Amino acid sequence: MLSRMCIFKNRCFSKSVVNASLIFTAILAFTATDQFVTGQEADPSNRPRTQELLPETTVAFIQIDDFREMVGKLQETSFGQMTQDESLAPLIDGLWDEARLAYNDVEAEVGVTLEDLQELPSGEMTFAIIAPRRQNPEYMLIIELDTESGAGERILERGREVIATETGEPITSEESEDGLEYETFNAAGKNFKFFEKDGLMVGCSSAEELDAFVDRWMEREVEKVRPLTANRKFVTIMNRCLGNNEIEPEARFFIDPIGLARSATRGNFAAQAAINFLPIIGLDGLLGVGGSMLLSEDDFESVVHGHLLLSNPRKGVLEMLALKPTEYQPEPWLPADLDTYLTTSWDVDQLLNELSKMVDMYQGGEGLVDEWIDGNINERIQMDLKEDVLAHLTGRVTYAQWIAPPMALNSQVQMFAMELSDPEAFEKSFESIIQTFTGGNDDNNDNEEGRNDEDRGDWMATSDYKGFKTWTVSQASIDRRQSRRDARRQARNPEGEDLEDEDPAVLEMRAELRPRPAMALVGNYLLMSFSSRSMDFIEHAIDTMEGEVIPMADDEKFMSVQRKMTRLLRSDMPCAMTYQNPEHAFRMLFELAGSDQTQSFLSSQIEDNPVLSGIQSRFAENPLPDFDDMKGYFRPTGGFVVSDDTGYHFLAFSMKSEEDE
C-alpha cells in the first residue's frame, strides 16, 4: 500500500486524475439546483453600468454581470442537467452533506454560516485595478448584495470584526454630502474605504478613486479623467466580444498588460528598464487582451470570445506570430475518437526574418542568427538547417490528444504534427541527422549525462508499421537512463533508506509511466509523440490513414461542429481552429475514479483526514453510474482564431442538443 502511495505522490498525472475526479464531483454538488439559495436581489436598473463609473485608467477588469442568473443558466447546460440526473443525485447530495460537515468544523472560526456565504453573491461582482497617472495601482471591488435575507450585512459585520482584530484599529465611519456612509480602515499600508448604496457594496484602496466613482454615479463631471467606456482599447475589445444579437455577456474581462506592469512596478528601476525595452522587441504593440462568456445564445450552450488587441502595423515579436489564414481540413490520419484537436499555420520565413532583425538590432550586428545556426547547429547535424530542414516545412502545426484503450493512468497521449512540402527530401535529411547523432562521430561526443559513443549507437530504433517508417527511443536507451537515475539516487542516499524503490510494483508502474518518444512520417506529416504510449497513437493514426479506422473528417459530431464554425466564420478564413470531444476524457475520469488504484490512493490518505474519509464513504455508498448512461451530457465543442487589423480574435462554442434547439 505504501509503495502505491509513493507512485501517486511522485507522478503528477496520477495525482491529477484523482484530484480531477474529486473536483469534478464537488462541482456537481455545488451546481445542483436545490443547493443554491435564491433571494431578493438589488435592482441595477436605477444606476449606470459599472464600466461607465470606472475611470479610463482602469488596467484590469473582471465582471460577472449577474451571478445568480449565470448560475441559473449554467444549470440549464448539459453539465448542469447532468447534476440533476437521478443516477447522480444521491452522490451529489452526499458530497454536499460532506461539504456542510466539513464547514461546520470551521464555522465558529469563520463566523459566517454556509447559508450566508451561498446567499452573498446576488447580482453583479466586479474587481478592477486602476492605474492613476504617475501613481501606484489602486484596487476596487464591487458586489451586489442580497438586501432581503440580510446575509450580506451579516458577512460585512463579521468582516468588520476581523479587520478590527487584525489591524488593532477600529473601523471609522463618516457620512458624505450625498448621504452615503463611508467606512474606512487601514491595512497593508493602504487606506481602504467602502460604502453601500442601493444594494451595492463598493470598496476601494483610494479615496480619490472612490469619490470619482460616486461623482459619476451622481452624474457629476469628473475632471481630466473620462470613464472606462471612453477607453479605446476597452471599447474595441468589448465590441468584438459581443454576441450575435449584441446581448450583454454573463461575464467579461479586460487587461491592459503594459499599463498594469508600468503601474505595478513604479519605483522598481530594473522592472521599469525591462518595460522600456519592450519597444525594441515590438511588445509595446500589445495593447490589451479581453474576452467574454455568453450562455444560451441562439443554438449554442455557451460562447466564449477572446481578443488580443495589437497595434497596426506590427513589428518584432508580434510580427513573428504571423499566423496564416487558410482553409483547415482535418488531416487524413486523424481518428474520429480524438479527445482534442488544434491546428494552425505559421509563416516560417517571416518568423526567422523577424527573429534575425531583433537579434541584430539588440546586438548591434548583422546576420548574427545565421552565424549562430552555422556554428551551433549546422556543424553538429552536418547540413544546412534552413535549406535541408526548415525549407521543407509548410508552417502548418497540429496538436492532437487521444485516450488510448484500455483505460489506465497513461491513457492520455499527446501528439504534435508538422506538415511537409517535400516528405521524401525531409526524410532524407531526418535520417542523416539521426545517423549523425547515433553514428559515434568523435566531433559530437559531448553529451548530457555522460553518454558515450556506445550509448548513442542504439539511441533510436527504426521500425516499419504497415509500410510507414517509424522511429522511437530504444528500450536500451531508456534502461540506461533509468540506471543513471538509480545511480544518482543511490549516491544521494548511500544508506539505502528508500526501500519503496525496491518494490517490483513501483518499478513496473514507473516503467509504464515513463515517456517514450516516437516519430513517424505519415503522408505529408511528421508525427511526434512524447508520451509513454506514443507508438499506440502513431499506429492508431496509421490505421486511420489506411482506412481501417473512421477518420475525424467523417465523424458526425465533428461535421456538426464544422458546420456551426462555417456559419460563424461567414466569409472569414481562420488562422487556427480547435475541436474537442470531452466524452473520451470524461470516460477515462469516470473509469479511473472507480478504479482499484484510485480507491487504494484514497484509502492511503484517509488516516487523520475526515474530509477524504467522508468522500470515500460517499463514493462507496453511491458509486458513479456507468458512463454510457451519462455520455449524452458531454457534447463536442469547437473554436477558431481569425486575424484582422485589430489583432487576433478567438471564439469557442459548445452546442445545445437537438432537443434543446
User: What's the pLDDT tens digit per position in 398-449?
Assistant: 999 999 998 888 899 999 999 999 999 999 998 888 877 765 444 444 444 4
Distance (Å) of CA 565 to CA 108, 238, 248, 301, 326: 52, 21, 22, 14, 14
CB atoms < 10 A from the CB of 117, how many? Answer: 15
Average pLDDT over residues 6-35: 39
Ranking 48-62, 192-206, 457-471, 564-578 by mean pLDDT, the lowest is 457-471
- What pLDDT, on the 0 to 100 scale, is given for residue 204? 95
Average pLDDT over residues 315-332: 88
Ranking 72-76, 156-160, 262-266 by mean pLDDT, the lowest is 156-160
What is the DSSP-derived secondary structure letter of residue 452? -
* Residue 7 clears pLDDT 70, i.e. is over it: no
Q: Is the peptide bond before 406 cis (omega within 30 degrees of 0)?
A: yes
- What pLDDT, on the 0 to 100 scale, is given for residue 498? 53
* Residue 61 clears pLDDT 80, i.e. is over it: yes
> What amino acid is encoded at 627 in this protein?
F
Average pLDDT over residues 146-154: 76
> What amino acid is encoded at 190 in this protein?
K
239 Cβ partners below 8 Å, 6+ apart?
none
- What pLDDT, on the 0 to 100 scale, is given for residue 599? 67
Q: What is the pLDDT of residues 603-652, one digit of tens each?
A: 666 666 777 777 778 777 888 888 888 888 899 999 999 999 999 999 99
Q: Which of 68-72, 341-345, 515-519 has the highest mean pLDDT?
A: 341-345
Average pLDDT over residues 116-144: 88
Question: How far is it, in rounded angstroms, from Cα 190 to Cα 204?
Answer: 10
Helix ranges restricted to H, 37-88: 50-53, 67-76, 78-83
| C-beta of residue 254 within 8 angstroms of C-beta of residue 307 | no
Question: How is 522-572 classified by DSSP, letter by letter?
Answer: ETTEEEEE-STTHHHHHHHHHHHHTTSS-BGGG-HHHHHHHHHHHHHHTT-
What is the DSSP-derived secondary structure letter of residue 33? G
Q: What is the pLDDT of residues 80-113, one digit of tens each?
A: 888 888 888 888 888 888 888 887 877 777 777 7
472 Cβ partners below 8 Å, 6+ apart?
460, 461, 463, 516, 517, 518, 519, 534, 535
User: For the range 447-456, what are the long-range contacts, defined as Cβ-Cβ under 8 Å and sequence gap of 24 or more?
Assistant: 449/481, 449/484, 450/484, 455/480
Distance (Å) of CA 189 to CA 57, 186, 192, 205, 405: 22, 7, 9, 10, 57
Closest CA to 659 of 151, 78, 218: 78
Mean pLDDT of the chain: 82
> What amino acid is encoded at 192 in this protein?
F
Closest CA to 210 of 315, 132, 325, 305: 132
- What pLDDT, on the 0 to 100 scale, is given for residue 139? 95
- What pLDDT, on the 0 to 100 scale, is given for residue 439? 57
| C-beta of residue 250 within 8 angstroms of C-beta of residue 67 | no
The residue among 52 and 459 whose pLDDT is bigger is: 52
| C-beta of residue 55 within 8 angstroms of C-beta of residue 228 | yes
- What pLDDT, on the 0 to 100 scale, is given for residue 581? 94
80 Cβ partners below 8 Å, 6+ apart?
31, 33, 74
With H, G, I as helix, E, B as strand and everything else as coil, classify residue 365: coil
Q: What is the pLDDT of residues 501-547, one digit of tens each?
A: 555 555 666 667 788 899 999 999 999 999 999 999 999 999 999 99
Positive or negative torsion for Cα 244, 249, 250, 254: positive
- What pLDDT, on the 0 to 100 scale, is given for residue 600? 67
Average pLDDT over residues 151-171: 80
The residue among 270 and 453 whose pLDDT is bigger is: 270
Closest CA to 578 of 344, 297, 337: 344
Instruction: Describe the crossing of helices 610-621 and 89-110 by its angle, rounded to 10 degrees.
Output: 160
Share of the chain above pLDDT 90, in %: 39
Instruction: Describe the crossing of helices 12-31 and 67-76 by its angle, rounded to 10 degrees.
Output: 100
* Residue 181 clears pLDDT 80, i.e. is over it: yes
The residue among 535 and 120 whose pLDDT is bigger is: 535
- What pLDDT, on the 0 to 100 scale, is given for residue 597? 66
| C-beta of residue 563 within 8 angstroms of C-beta of residue 355 | no
What is the DSSP-derived secondary structure letter of residue 650? E
Ranking 180-189, 210-219, 258-267, 368-377 by mean pLDDT, the lowest is 180-189
| C-beta of residue 455 within 8 angstroms of C-beta of residue 461 | no
150 Rama sector, left if φ>0, alpha if ψ -120 to 50, beta otherwise? left
Average pLDDT over residues 70-78: 87
Share of the chain above pLDDT 70, in %: 84
β-partners of residue 306 are 291, 650
Strands 338-345 and 172-175: unpaired
